[in-house]
Amino acid sequence: MGSFSLHASCLAKHNLPWSNGCSQNLNSLRIPALQQRGPGFLSRKASKILAFYGLKSPPYALDALEPYMSKRLLETHWGEHHHGYVEGLNKQLEKNDILYSYTLDELVKVTYNNGNPLPEFNNAAQVWNHDFFWESMQPGGGGMPELGLLQQIEKDFGSFTNFKEKFIEASLSLFGSGWVWLVLKRQEKRLEVVKTSNAVNPIAWDDIPLMSLDTWEHAYYQDYKHDRGKYVNAFMNHLVSWHVVTARIIRAEAFVNLGEPKIPVA
């Protein structure tokens, strides 16, 4: 088995407004070796690189979210779970060249297969979900959104408090493993709180997620044990990054008209 160190021309693009994906650190890149096909097959030096995904670091140090999310928890959640999904996905893609050369967004939608997910969906979606989740948090987060985002929340939920209650209630009533999202619904042109199971993700039906909370038990068990309520409150009050949500909704407005369309008058 050979592994090549190549300068990463990054194929794992993430559609985030302030990053072009390539400026992030990609850890543990390993290109699958395509040698050892048979006795007569000569091993080649460089194999065709078709697509691979890397483990993206969270945009903060692993201890930056203390005491609301411990370094120990992040080391396991990011270093073992998220990493495991990346490795699992790369292993699956080694064997399935129909799925090569998609961006991660596209791969999630394709493998979701309109509700009959292909085997690669779980890994692909969980890689996407965790990248999105780390970026939805920041040290010194919590508090309240401002300006246009706050106005939109008040418009669609009545008040920020209402929204917060709804989000917390959704997190506590999600049975099993899953995610809770603040999404911008593309057709209805409004914000909503959405619960999904296991790895499912609202981009699968073309909505635009703005922030998420991981409610799988592994996301909080080491710090909060069974007390999901305490975890959700810590997230809402100290971790969620309204800056990031603002940037995401600004970008979303390029695709969804939230108010009256601004038609220039000649």
Q: How far is the CB of 196 from other proteins (least distance, A)?
A: 11
Tokens of 42: 């000569």
Report how many helices (DSSP H) and strands (DSSP E) the chain contains, helices first.
9, 5
| Binds other proteins by CB under 8 A, chosen from 15, 177, 185, 192 | 177
Helix, strand, coil shares, percent, the chain, to 5? 40, 10, 45
| Binds other proteins by CB under 8 A, chosen from 76, 142, 233, 256 | 76
Stretch that binds other proteins, among 15-23, 58-66, 74-82, 94-102 (CB under 8 A): 74-82
Tokens of 236: 């809402």
Which of 124, 144, 126 has its CA nearest to residue 241?
A: 144
The site map against other proteins for 149-168 (x = CB under 8 A) is: --------------------
| Binds other proteins by CB under 8 A, chosen from 61, 226, 250, 257 | 226
Report the alpha-carbon distance of residue 21 to residue 54 in Å, rounded.
11
Q: How far is the CB of 80 from other proteins (least distance, A)?
A: 5
Angle between helices 104-112 and 121-135 (to 10 degrees): 140
Q: How far is the CB of 242 from other proteins (least distance, A)?
A: 29
Q: Check residue 59 for interaction with other proteins (CB under 8 A).
A: no
Instruction: List, as own/partner pairs, every contact residues 69-77 make where C-beta atoms lie below 8 angstroms and the sequence separation is at least 24, other chains included.
Output: 69/137, 69/223, 69/234, 69/239, 70/222, 70/223, 72/222, 73/220, 73/222, 73/223, 76/218, 76/222, 77/130, 77/214, 77/218, 77/219
Residue 217 contacts residue 77 (beta carbons within 8 Å): no
81-140 residues in contact with other proteins (CB under 8 A) are 81, 84, 122
Stretch that binds other proteins, among 41-49, 50-58, 144-152, 214-222 (CB under 8 A): 214-222
Q: Check residue 175 for interaction with other proteins (CB under 8 A).
A: yes
| Binds other proteins by CB under 8 A, chosen from 52, 179, 216, 231 | 216
Q: Which is nearer to other proteins, 15 or 198 (CB)?
A: 198
Q: How far is the CB of 201 from other proteins (least distance, A)?
A: 14
Q: How far is the CB of 202 from other proteins (least distance, A)?
A: 17
Q: How far is the CB of 118 from other proteins (least distance, A)?
A: 13
Helix (H) or strand (E) holding 184: strand 178-185
DSSP label of 197: E
Under the rule (CB under 8 A), what is the footprint of other proteins?
A: 76, 80-81, 84, 122, 175-178, 197-199, 216-218, 221-222, 225-226
